[in-house]
Structure formats: C-alpha cells, structure tokens
Chains A and B, each alone.
Chain A
C-alpha cells in the first residue's frame, strides 16, 4: 500500500504551484496548495492495549532543549527531521519549536499535545502495556514527498527497533 497515493502527480502540481511561488517569489501561498488524498484505507487487526507497547508520534515540535537541535521552525519550506526522546522525559526538559500553531496552551500545559504523564499513568494503571520512545516532528511540512522520503522512514525504523504494537498520533 502506498503511503500517499499518486505521489508523483501530487508533487508535480506542488512543484509547479506552491513550491514555484516560494522559490521564485519567496511567497508562501496556500491558495496554490492542494492537499493529497488517499482512497484506500489501511486495515489492521485490533490489539489488546494492556499487553502492547505504544509509541506516541507528535507533530508539536517537541525536542530536548539541552541536548537536541531545535527544529527549523522559521523555514517556509518546513523541517522534515525527526527527534526522539524517552517517554519518561520530564516536561521541563522539553521545548516546542513550531511557529504554525499558537503555543500558548502547550506552554501552559504540555499535556494538551504531549500527554506523557497521562500515558505513564495509564501504564501504571495497566491500561497500556508499555511505552516506547516518543517520535517528535515539527508538523509544518508542506512537501508531502519529502515527508515520505525523509520523515517517515526514521519513524518506521524507530518503531521496528522498539518492537511497538501500536501508535498514537497527536497532531498539533
């Protein structure tokens, strides 16, 4: 199954529209942007979460402020790199680099986007078996082909290495 259907055709339109405007005129013009659309729906059997290892995938731009490179939150093209950190990480070790959503709420209460304490409590209560490291990206990523090429592969590798059973995606 393709991650994004008709990706080459989508990229051609993207390159001639939104990306051309950015390259030629330095303009970010989302009136030129067409969102990709999938017709097929992935199928997979359900899991018993209490016996499963869960990965949180966040697009909020979270990173370890003292040891990891900050996302390039000011790039008009977007930052397609991935950070990972332990699900045991305290919130005061995390900052959020993302200029395309209002960060007031997440600075006030990180659990609105990064529910690490809630998930840890669910493990303690037996609802979730265990947690893997968190996969974290800065979710302003207009180039979907670059997401497929640069962003998704390391997340899949993380998932395989950690032998996760399921993933929770929380967009910002």
Chain B
C-alpha cells in the first residue's frame, strides 16, 4: 500500500504468489483465519505472531504457524 508497512495471515498457499512483504501461514480453516471460534488464546497467538512482523524491515520470510483447526 504505497509504502505503508503491511502484514497478513492466511491459511492458503496462494499467499506465496502475491509475495507479501510480511506474512504468517497456518493450517487453520478458510472462514476462521485467526483461529477456532471461542479459542481466544489461539486467535491471539496468530494475531500476535502476525502483528510482531510489523517491527521487522520487509521483506521477511513467511512464518509458518503450528495452528490447526479444532
């Protein structure tokens, strides 16, 4: 976005095609990108890992998260 630092999290491998500057990738489900419903702890793990990338100079390698559907 025109020089604005961005970070993204996704469950899909297509994210590699976009060459996003900062990204996390999980095995969570489409429709529940940040975690399972009601699992605030998991949602916060994904959010924090993704937001923490904003502190880094981009581009950074995709971070794989060990987060799965329930």
- B44 near A46 with CB under 8 A, answer no
Least CB separation from B35: chain A residue = A112
- A38 near B19 with CB under 8 A, answer yes
- B33 near A38 with CB under 8 A, answer no
Whether, in the assembled complex, A115 has its beta carbon less than 8 Å from a beta carbon of chain B, the answer is yes
Interface of chain B: mostly helix, strand, loop or mixed: loop
Interface-located stretch among A22-30, A68-76, A83-91, A158-166: A158-166
Within 8 A of A (CB), among B1-26: 1-10, 12, 14, 17-21
Q: On chain B, which size bracket covers the interface? A: 35 or more
Whether, in the assembled complex, A109 has its beta carbon less than 8 Å from a beta carbon of chain B, the answer is yes
Interface of chain A: mostly helix, strand, loop or mixed: loop
- B30 near A165 with CB under 8 A, answer no
Q: Report the bound CA distance from A107 to B43 in whole Å.
A: 16
Whether, in the assembled complex, B56 has its beta carbon less than 8 Å from a beta carbon of chain A, the answer is yes
Q: Which residues of A contact B (CB under 8 A)?
A: 35-49, 52, 54, 101-106, 108-109, 111-113, 115, 118-119, 122, 127-128, 152, 155-156, 159, 164-172
Extra contacts besides A43-B59, A112-B43, A168-B8 (20): CB < 8 Å? A44-B5, A45-B57, A46-B54, A46-B58, A47-B55, A102-B30, A105-B32, A108-B37, A112-B31, A112-B34, A113-B32, A115-B47, A119-B47, A122-B47, A166-B4, A166-B6, A168-B50, A169-B6, A169-B7, A170-B33
